C-alpha cells in the first residue's frame, strides 16, 4: 500500500489534480473575501447602529434636515417656489430631493428649535420629542453627536445661530425605508459571515496543503529522482517575476471595472494559474540549485563575458565595431563643434572621409575572407574534400579557416580509414572463404574416396587419418575466428592475478617441446631474473605465448634458433621472441598484425593468419603493449605486461 501511494504521489495526474485544486482554492479565497468585505459591518460589529452604514446614513439625514430648515427654507427661490411660482433653481431642486427623502423615511426622527424666534420643526407626533430622541442609542442632542460620523458643514449651518438640533433613529425599526433595509442586510450578513469564515479557512488550508505537497514533489518523478526542470523554468526569474506582477496589476484594473464576485473569482483563477506556475518554477530552480544560473543577470554577464573576454572572432570584431563608433562619434562631434571655423571644418571633413574609406577597405577584405570560408565549407560539404583554399585570409578569420581545414583533414583521414576498412573486409571474406574451403574440400574428397568399394584396410586408415587432420584444422580455424572476434570486440572477461612470467613461458615451452624438435629448431632462453611477476589473466597470457610460439615454429627456417628474452623495466614485465623466417618477409610489420595476413603470401602453410592479430588484441585487453619488428628475414615480437604492484592493483 505504501509503495502504491509513493508511486501515486509523484504521478503527473496527482500533480495536475493538486494544481487545479490550488487554483480553485486561490480563486475561491478572493471571491469569498470579496463577499466578506460586502458584509464587513456584520463582520466587525455586534449591533446595526454601531455600523458605518447606519452612522453614515443618520449623518446624511441630519445634514439634510438642517440644510432644509436653515439654508434652503430661507432661500428666495425656494420661498417663491413655496408661494406657488414655477421656479427651477439648484436650491429648489435640492429642496425637492431632501423633502422627498424625508417624507419617505419611517425611522429617522428630528426636532429643531430656533430659540431666537421660538419656531420648532419636528416629525414626532406623539409624546415629548426630546425625551424620545434622547432615549435612542444614536442621536444628536443639542448639536452634539454621540456617533463617529459627522458632516463638517453642519457646524457651518448652525454656528452663530440660536438653532438647536435633535435627531435620532427610532428603535425598534419599522419596515419601509433604507434604515430598515440596512438592518435586514446586517442581520442576514451576521448569519452568512460564519459560513464565509469557515469557507475562507478551508481555502487557506487547501492552499497550504498544496504548497507543502509541491514543496516535496515539484521537479521529481520519484522520491530519489533528480530534479527535472521544465521548459517554463528557462524563462529568467527576473522576467517571470515582472510578468507575474504585471498580471496582478492588470487584474486589479479589471477588478475596478467589473466589481462583482463572479468576475473577481474568474480573474483570480487566471492569476492562480500564473502565480502557482511561477511559485513551482521557483521551487524547482531552488531545489536544483540553478536559480542564479537561470537568472537574467547571470545570462547577461555570461553573454558579455563571451563577447568581450573570450579570444577569437567575437571579441576582436566587437572591439573593432566599438572603436569605429567611438572614432566616428568624436570626428562628427568635432565637425559640428568647429563648423564656423573653415580650416578645422575642412580638416575634420577630410578625416571623416579618410577614416570611413579605410574602414570600407577593411570591411571589403573582411567580406572577401568570409566568402572564402563559405566557399570552402560549400566545397567540402558537396564532397570535394581535396579542395584548397584560395586567397589571403584576414588574421581575425584565419583561425576559423584553420579549424575548417582541420575538419577537412579529419574527413580525409576518416575516408581513407573507411576505404581501408572496406578493402580489409573484402580480403577477410576472400581469405576466410579460401581457408575454410581448403580443408572442407579435402574432407569431401576423401569421404567420396571412402565410399568406393575395394579399398584395403591400410588405405582406409590413411584416408581416415587425413580426414581427422583436415577436420582438426577446420576446427582450429573456426576456434581462432571466434576467439579473434571476442578479443577484437573487447568482450573478454579478464581476471587479473599475480603471474610469474618466467615460469609461464617455461611451461609453454614444455608443451611445444615435441613440435620444436619435429621442426628441427633450438630454443635459447635468456633470463637474468626468474622472479618477474606481472598483473595478468593467466589463461589469456598463456594464449598469447602459445600463439607466438606456434607462429615461430611454423615459419622459422629449419635448423635455426628461436631466441626468447625475459626481462623487466620500471612498469612492465617484458618478453620477446626472435626467429629467422623460412620465407622472405617482404611485408610491413604493421600489416602482419592485421587479420588473415601471413608472412607466407602464397598461403601454402597451415596457419590461419589470425595468430598475431589475436595475440595483439589479447595484449591490449591485458593493458599491455604488443610490438612487431622485421629486419630482413629476422622476425621479432615484443610483449609488455604491467608488473604486479600489489593486491590493490588487481581491484
| pLDDT, tens only, 66-104 | 888 888 888 888 888 888 888 889 988 998 998 898 888
Instruction: Identify the band that residue 532 occupies on the pLDDT scale cut at 50, 70 and 90.
Output: very high
Helix (H, G, I), strand (E, B) or coil at 624: coil
Q: Could you give the percent of the chain with pLDDT greater than 90?
A: 11
| Mean predicted confidence (pLDDT) in 538-560 | 88
Q: Which domain holds residue 156?
A: 43-174
Q: Which of 409, 412, 408, 399 is closest to 379 using CA atoms?
A: 408
Q: Does residue 244 share a domain with residue 163?
A: no
Distance between CA atoms of 646 and 480, rounded to whole angstroms?
33
Please give the angle made by the CA atoms of 274, 276 and 278, to the nearest 5 degrees: 70
CB atoms within 10 A of CB 145: 18
CB-based contact 112:163 (threshold 8 Å): yes
Name the 3-class secondary structure at 258: coil
Predicted pLDDT of residue 601: 44
Structure confidence at residue 604 (pLDDT) = 44
| 189 and 71 fall within a common domain | no
pLDDT tens-digit readout, 32-42: 888 888 777 77
Instruction: Say yes or no: 562 and 516 in one domain.
Output: yes
Residue listed under C-alpha cell 588473415: 596
Name the one residue in this structure whose C-alpha cell is 407626533.
Answer: 125
Domain-embedded: residue 302: no
CA–CA distances in Å: residue 274 to residues 77, 256, 267, 291, 529: 61, 20, 11, 19, 79
pLDDT at position 598 is 45
The C-alpha cell that represents 470 in the structure block: 583436415
Quick check: 27 pLDDT over 80?
Answer: yes
- pLDDT tens for each residue of 456-486: 778 777 778 877 877 877 776 677 666 666 6
Query: Which tops the pLDDT comparison, 4 or 535?
Result: 535
Q: Is the pLDDT of residue 534 over 90?
A: yes
What is the edge-to-edge ordering of all strands in the sheet holding 119-122?
A: 119-122, 108-114, 163-169, 139-141, 144-145
CA distance 567 to 545: 15
Residue 329, domain member (yes or no) = yes
- In this structure, what C-alpha cell is assigned to residue 532? 618477474
CA distance 425 to 420: 8
pLDDT at 563: 95
Residue 420, pLDDT > 90, answer no
Looking at residue 575, its pLDDT comes to: 94
Residue 60: which of 183, 178, 188, 180 has the closest Cα?
Answer: 178
Q: Which residues are CB-contacts of 259 (< 8 A; sequence separation ≥ 6)?
A: none
Where do runs of H (alpha helix) occur along 40-177?
Answer: 40-44, 52-66, 76-82, 90-104, 129-134, 153-158
Task: Look at residue 122 and tell me if it is in a domain.
Answer: yes
Is 532 in contact with 644 (CB distance < 8 Å)? Answer: no
Among 154, 174, 194, residue at a domain's last position: 174
Residue 461 domain-assigned?
no
From the CA atom positions of the chain, what is the Rg in Å?
53
Q: Are 6 and 223 in contact (CB under 8 A)?
A: yes
Residues 170 and 188 in one domain: no
585, 558 contact by CB (below 8 A): no
> Is 553 a member of any domain?
yes
Please check whether residues 160 and 20 belong to one and the same domain: no
**365 pLDDT more than 80:** no
Q: What's the pTM value of the predicted model, to 2 decimals?
A: 0.43
Q: Are residues 499 and 628 in the same domain?
A: yes
pLDDT at res. 6: 58
Q: Name which of 48-62, 378-392, 617-631 the model is least confident about.
A: 378-392
Q: Report which of residues 178 and 612 the model is more confident about.
A: 178
Q: Please tell me whether residues 516 and 374 are part of one structural domain.
A: no
What pLDDT band is residue 648 in, cutting at 50, 70 and 90? low
Higher pLDDT, 517 or 262: 517
The verdict on 61 and 152 lying in the same domain is yes
pLDDT, position 595: 47
Q: Which residue has the higher pLDDT, 219 or 600?
A: 219
Determine, yes or no, domain membership for 246: yes
Q: Characterize 179-203 residue by residue with b for buried, 16 or more Cβ atoms within 10 angstroms of its Cβ, and e for exposed.
A: bbebbebbeebbeebeebeebbeeb
In terms of domains, do 242 and 341 share one? Answer: no
Task: Tell me: pLDDT of 548 over 60.
Answer: yes
In tens, the pLDDT along 264-309 reads 888 888 888 988 888 888 888 888 888 888 888 888 887 767 655 5
**Is pLDDT above 90 for 525?**
yes
CA 399, CA 161: separation in Å to the nearest integer? 100
522-527: strand order across its sheet: 522-527, 561-568, 572-580, 634-642, 625-631
Task: Name beta bridge partners: 522.
Answer: 561
Environment class of 101 (CB within 10 Å of its CB; exposed 0-12, middle 13-18, buried 19+): middle
CA-closest candidate to residue 243, choices 274, 284, 283, 273: 274
Q: Quick count: other Cβ atoms within 10 Å of Cβ 305?
A: 10
pLDDT of 489 above 70: no
Please check whether residues 50 and 33 belong to one and the same domain. Answer: no
Split at pLDDT 50, 70, 90, the class of 608 is low
Examine the domain organization and report whether 581 and 607 are in the same domain: yes
Confidence tier at 572 by pLDDT (50, 70, 90): very high
The answer as to whether 631 is a domain residue is yes
Nearest Cα to Cα of residue 173 among 184, 185, 162: 184
Rounded percentage of the chain residues whose pLDDT exceeds 70: 82
Q: What is the total count of domains within the chain?
A: 4
- Of 380, 398, 413, the last residue of a domain is 380
Report the C-alpha gap between 23 and 275 in whole angstroms: 9
Cell of 212: 507543502
Domain at 597, CATH number:
3.30.565.10
Tell me, what's the pLDDT at 202?
Answer: 92
pLDDT at 500: 92
Please check whether residues 534 and 633 belong to one and the same domain.
yes
Q: Give the model's confidence band at 262: pLDDT under 50 very low, under 70 low, under 90 confident, else very high.
A: confident
Boundary (domain end) residue, out of 110, 142, 174: 174
> How far apart, in whole angstroms, are the C-alpha atoms of residue 372 and residue 187?
88
- pLDDT per position as a tens digit, 574-603: 999 999 988 887 777 677 766 444 444 433
User: Is residue 130 one of the residues assigned to a domain?
Assistant: yes
Q: Which of 226, 211, 217 is nearest to 279 (CA)?
A: 211
Whole-angstrom distance, CA of residue 642 vs CA of residue 640: 7
* pLDDT above 50: residue 605: no
Amino acid at each position: 500500500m505504501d509503495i502504491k501511494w509513493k508511486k501515486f504521489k509523484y504521478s503527473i495526474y496527482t500533480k495536475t489534480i493538486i494544481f487545479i485544486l490550488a487554483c480553485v482554492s486561490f480563486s475561491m479565497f478572493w471571491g469569498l473575501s470579496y463577499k466578506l468585505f460586502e458584509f464587513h459591518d456584520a463582520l466587525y460589529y455586534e449591533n446595526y447602529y454601531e455600523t458605518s452604514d447606519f452612522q453614515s446614513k443618520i449623518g446624511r439625514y441630519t445634514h439634510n434636515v438642517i440644510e432644509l430648515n436653515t439654508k434652503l427654507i430661507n432661500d428666495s427661490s425656494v420661498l417663491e417656489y413655496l408661494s406657488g411660482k414655477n421656479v427651477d433653481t439648484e436650491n429648489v431642486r435640492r429642496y425637492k430631493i431632501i423633502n422627498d427623502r424625508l417624507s419617505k423615511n419611517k425611522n429617522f426622527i428630528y426636532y429643531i428649535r430656533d430659540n431666537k424666534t421660538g419656531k420648532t420643526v419636528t416629525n414626532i407626533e406623539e409624546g415629548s420629542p426630546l425625551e424620545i430622541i434622547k432615549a435612542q442609542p444614536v442621536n444628536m442632542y443639542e448639536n452634539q453627536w454621540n456617533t463617529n460620523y459627522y458632516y463638517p458643514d453642519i457646524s457651518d449651518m448652525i454656528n452663530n445661530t440660536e438653532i438647536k438640533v435633535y435627531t435620532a433613529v427610532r428603535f425598534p425599526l419599522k419596515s419601509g425605508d433604507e434604515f430598515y433595509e440596512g438592518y435586514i442586510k446586517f442581520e442576514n450578513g451576521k448569519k452568512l459571515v460564519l459560513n464565509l469564515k469557515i469557507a475562507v479557512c478551508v481555502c487557506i488550508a487547501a492552499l497550504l496543503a498544496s504548497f507543502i505537497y509541491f514543496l516535496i514533489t515539484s521537479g521529481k518523478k520519484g522520491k530519489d529522482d533528480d530534479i527535472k526542470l521544465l521548459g517554463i523554468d528557462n524563462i529568467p526569474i527576473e522576467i517571470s517575476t515582472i510578468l507575474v506582477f504585471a498580471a496582478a496589476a492588470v487584474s486589479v484594473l479589471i477588478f475596478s471595472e467589473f466589481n462583482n464576485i463572479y468576475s473577481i473569482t474568474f480573474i483570480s483563477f487566471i492569476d492562480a494559474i500564473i502565480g502557482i506556475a511561477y511559485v513551482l518554477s521557483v521551487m524547482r530552480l531552488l531545489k536544483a540549485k540553478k536559480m542564479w544560473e537561470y537568472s537574467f543577470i547571470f545570462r547577461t554577464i555570461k553573454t558579455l563575458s563571451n563577447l568581450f573576454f573570450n579570444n577569437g572572432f567575437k571579441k576582436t570584431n566587437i572591439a573593432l565595431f566599438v572603436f569605429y563608433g567611438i572614432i566616428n562619434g568624436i570626428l562628427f562631434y568635432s565637425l559640428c563643434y568647429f563648423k564656423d571655423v573653415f580650416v578645422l571644418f575642412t580638416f575634420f571633413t577630410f578625416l571623416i572621409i579618410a577614416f570611413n574609406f579605410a574602414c570600407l577597405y577593411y570591411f571589403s577584405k573582411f567580406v572577401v575572407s568570409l566568402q572564402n570560408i563559405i566557399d570552402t565549407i560549400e566545397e567540402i560539404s558537396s564532397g570535394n574534400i581535396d579542395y584548397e583554399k584560395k586567397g589571403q585570409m584576414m588574421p581575425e578569420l584565419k583561425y576559423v579557416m584553420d579549424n575548417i581545414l582541420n575538419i577537412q583533414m579529419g574527413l580525409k583521414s576518416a575516408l581513407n580509414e573507411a576505404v581501408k576498412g572496406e578493402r580489409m573486409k573484402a580480403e577477410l571474406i576472400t581469405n576466410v572463404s579460401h581457408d575454410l574451403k581448403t580443408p572442407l574440400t579435402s574432407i569431401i574428397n576423401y569421404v567420396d574416396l571412402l565410399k568406393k568399394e575395394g579399398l584395403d584396410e591400410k588405405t582406409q586408415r590413411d584416408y581416415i587419418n587425413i580426414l581427422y587432420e583436415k577436420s582438426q584444422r577446420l576446427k582450429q580455424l573456426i576456434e581462432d575466428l571466434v576467439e579473434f572476434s571476442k578479443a577484437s570486440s573487447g568482450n573478454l572477461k579478464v581476471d587479473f592475478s599475480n603471474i610469474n612470467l618466467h615460469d609461464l613461458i617455461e611451461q609453454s615451452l614444455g608443451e611445444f617441446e615435441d613440435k620444436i624438435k619435429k621442426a628441427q629448431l633450438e630454443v635459447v632462453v635468456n633470463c637474468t631474473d626468474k622472479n618477474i611477476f606481472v598483473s595478468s589473466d593467466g589463461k589469456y597470457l598463456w594464449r598469447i605465448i602459445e600463439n607466438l610460439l606456434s607462429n615461430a615454429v611454423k615459419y622459422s627456417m629449419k635448423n635455426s634458433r628461436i631466441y626468447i628474452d625475459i626481462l623487466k623495466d620500471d612498469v612492465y614485465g617484458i618478453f620477446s621472441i626472435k626467429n629467422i623466417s623460412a620465407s622472405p618477409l617482404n611485408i610491413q610489420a604493421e600489416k602482419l598484425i592485421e587479420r588473415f595476413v601471413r608472412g607466407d603470401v602464397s598461403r601454402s602453410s597451415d596457419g590461419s593468419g589470425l595468430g598475431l592479430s589475436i595475440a595483439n588484441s589479447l595484449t591490449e585487453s591485458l593493458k599491455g603493449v604488443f610490438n612487431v619488428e622485421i629486419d630482413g628475414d629476422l622476425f621479432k615480437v615484443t610483449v609488455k605486461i604491467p608488473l604486479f604492484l600489489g593486491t590493490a592493483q588487481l581491484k
